[in-house]
Amino acid sequence: DIQMTQSPSSLSASVGDRVTITCRASESIKRYLNWYQQKPGKAPNLLIYKTSTLQTGVPSRFSGSGSGTDFTLTISSLQPEDFATYYCQQSYGLLYSFGQGTKVEIK
Amino acid sequence: EVQLVESGGGLVQPGGSLTLSCAASGFTFSNHALQWVRQAPGKGLKYVSAISTNGDKTYYANSVEGRFIVSRDNSKNILSLQMGSLRAEDTAVYFCARVAPTYSLDHWGQGTLVAVSS
């Protein structure tokens, strides 16, 4: 099975900050990497698919990059509604494994 | 509007069984693979199971292989998860999700809570 490792597991940031979350796969997943946002008590929401394509309706302050084993989610200017937990997920293998999550908290 | 609505969760004793359902609407059900994902209280997301468009291929996480069975009824637009030999560590919110052509999960249900406890 492909293992996904996110870092950091949590971070504190202020509104307007630039935030970067990294995700590493245990083997090459080409560009089959997705990002989700989850708020407490809610289902996850797809933000980015295939490394860098924004899902419809997702603000342009979100961006993704990478290939192979190393990937990044960037929020260019953090907004109040962005405080949430973010998960990466690989969809290269048959089993779509997730990273452990990164909680973005208010500083 | 795409909708996925899970049901069937509840409290069950260790060793017991439970069947979850996910009713879909707002899209051509038979065109999409589907997945179950769970989230233990305060923990992250974990893949549970997946099923192909016509149900001929099924996949399971190692932790549930041999205990859970995923199925679908394309005539009724329903996804099911039969869970047996339940353990405390199966306690979680279970989400159903639609697999998009982009190999991402583009729509999710609201989740249903399964609690395994004596």
pLDDT tens digits, residue range B20-32?
999 999 999 999 9
Q: What is the pLDDT, as a whole number, of residue B61? A: 96
Q: Is A97 in contact with B50 (Cβ distance < 8 A)?
A: no
Ramachandran angles phi, psi of B100, nearest 5°: -80, 165
Conformational region of residue A100, where left means phi above 0, alpha means psi within -120 to 50, and beta covers everything else: alpha
- Of all residues in chain B, the one with the smallest CA distance to A46 is B106
CA distance linking residue B118 with residue B13, whole number of Å: 5
Q: Indicate the pairing of strand A70-75 with strand A62-67.
A: antiparallel
Q: Which residues of chain A make contact with B111, given a CB cutoff of 8 A?
A: 43
Q: Which residues of chain B make contact with A96, given a CB cutoff of 8 A?
A: 35, 47, 50, 103, 105
Find out whether the peptide bond into B41 is cis, omega within 30 degrees of 0.
no
DSSP-H helix ranges across B1-117: none
**What separation in angstroms does the CA of B37 have from each of A31, A71, A77, B116?**
22, 22, 30, 17
Q: What is the pLDDT, as a whole number, of residue A95? A: 86
* Residues from A in contact with B at Cβ < 8 Å: 1, 32, 34, 36, 38, 42-46, 49-50, 53, 55, 87, 89, 91, 94-101
Token pair listed for A16:
């307007």
| Segment B46-60, tens digit of pLDDT | 999 999 999 999 999
Q: What is the pLDDT, as a whole number, of residue A66? A: 98
**Portion 87-116 of B in contact with A at CB < 8 A:** 95, 100, 102-106, 108-111
pLDDT tens, residue order, chain A (107 aa): 899 999 999 999 999 999 999 999 999 999 999 999 999 999 999 999 999 999 999 999 999 999 999 999 999 999 999 999 999 999 998 889 999 999 999 88
Give Cβ neighbours of residue A80 (< 8 Å, ≥ 6 apart): A15
Q: What is the pLDDT, as a whole number, of residue A93? A: 84
Q: Is B62 in contact with A53 (Cβ distance < 8 A)?
A: no
- For A86-107, give one letter per residue: b (16+ CB within 10 A) or e: bbbbbbbbebbbbbbbbebeee
User: Are B20 and B6 within 8 A, CB to CB?
Assistant: yes
| Segment B70-115, tens digit of pLDDT | 999 999 999 999 999 999 999 999 999 999 999 999 999 999 999 9
| Segment B34-50, tens digit of pLDDT | 999 999 999 999 999 99
Single-letter code of the amino acid located at A9: S
- Say if residue B86 is exposed, middle or buried (CB neighbours under 10 Å; 0-12, 13-18, 19+): buried
Q: Is B47 in contact with A95 (Cβ distance < 8 A)?
A: yes
Q: Which residues of chain A make contact with B35, given a CB cutoff of 8 A?
A: 96
pLDDT: which is higher, A107 or B11: B11
Partner A contacted by B11 (CB < 8 A): no
CA distance linking residue A2 with residue A72, whole number of Å: 18
